[in-house]
Amino acid sequence: MNDARSTGVGLTCAGLPAGALDDFLTAETIAEIAQSFWDAFLPDDAVLLPGSTLPATEEVRGRIDIGGSWSGSVELSCSLAAARRIAAAMFSLSSDALEVSDVHDAVGELVNVVGGNIKSILPAPTSLSVPTVGDEAGEWRFAATLEHEVLLDWRGEPVVVRVWRAAGPATS
């Protein structure tokens, strides 16, 4: 359900040449942005450590697309346990009172904030799609190039932020 879908953001390759993203966005900056979400919204439980391993299963995935001077996607995935803990904090509910839609909405806002802050670093003009959340990797990934993969660890639960460059106008 609710899998990543085309969001209407024009995925063209105008603007930044391939490889130029690093001038603006480093893995360290991505980790800082993710940390700022935890600092602000989960202040009692806010430490993200560098992660060392990919999760065996990435159970919840959020994605948001950026278009404009640079085109691509920011993808954030985590374990279901991490997603539920984020949702519980944002909705102020106990974990067992959460619906699937609550968990998806919370991860959607997480990827929206992380993606929005990444967008704001890129040279204007840029545009941002509405986030989508699902539990499987979409086919769009086959055509995109992985620019950054940042592994984080939140109290033993994996959180992964990936930045993908769109392949070209045909990708969506």
Partner 1 sequence: MHALVVDDSRAMRSLLRQILGRLGIDVAEAADGRAAIDAVVAGPLPDVALVDWHMPVMDGLELVTEMRRHKEWRHMAIMMVTTESEHENMVRALLAGANEYLIKPFSADAVLEKLSLLGLAPEATPASDHQGGEYLP
Partner 2 sequence: MTTATTEDFHFLQQFLLDRSAIVLSEEKHYLVETRLLPVVQRAGVGSIGELVRAIRRGDRDVEVAVVDAMTTNETSWFRDAAPFEALRKIVLPEVIAANVVRRKLSIWSAACSTGQELYSVAMILDAEFSEVASWKLDLHGTDLSTTVVDKARSGHFTALEINRGLPASHLVRYFRHEGGHYVIADALRSKVRFELFNLAKPWPPMQDYDIILLRNVLIYFDVATKAKVLEEAKAHLRPSGYLLLGTAESPRGLVEGFHSMPAGGTTIYRKEGA
Chain positions contacting partner 1, by CB under 8 A: 36-37, 39-41, 43, 87, 90-92, 102, 105-106, 108-109, 112-113, 115-117, 119-120, 124-126, 128, 130
Residues 121-150 that bind partner 2 (CB under 8 A): 121
Q: Which helix (H) or strand (E) holds 110?
A: helix 100-121
Give the span between the Cα atoms of 159 and 75, in whole angstroms. 11
| Shortest distance, position 56 Cβ to partner 1, whole Å | 26
| Shortest distance, position 126 Cβ to partner 2, whole Å | 12
- What number of other Cβ atoms are within 10 A of residue 160's Cβ? 19
Give the span between the Cα atoms of 59 and 15, in whole angstroms. 34
Token output for 137: 């990797």
Give the span between the Cα atoms of 53 and 65, in whole angstroms. 25
Token output for 144: 């995109």
| Shortest distance, position 73 Cβ to partner 1, whole Å | 15
| Shortest distance, position 47 Cβ to partner 1, whole Å | 15
| Choice between 39 and 136, CB closer to partner 2 | 39
Instruction: Point out which residues bind partner 2 (CB under 8 A).
Output: 24, 29, 32-33, 36, 39-40, 43-47, 49, 117, 120-121, 155
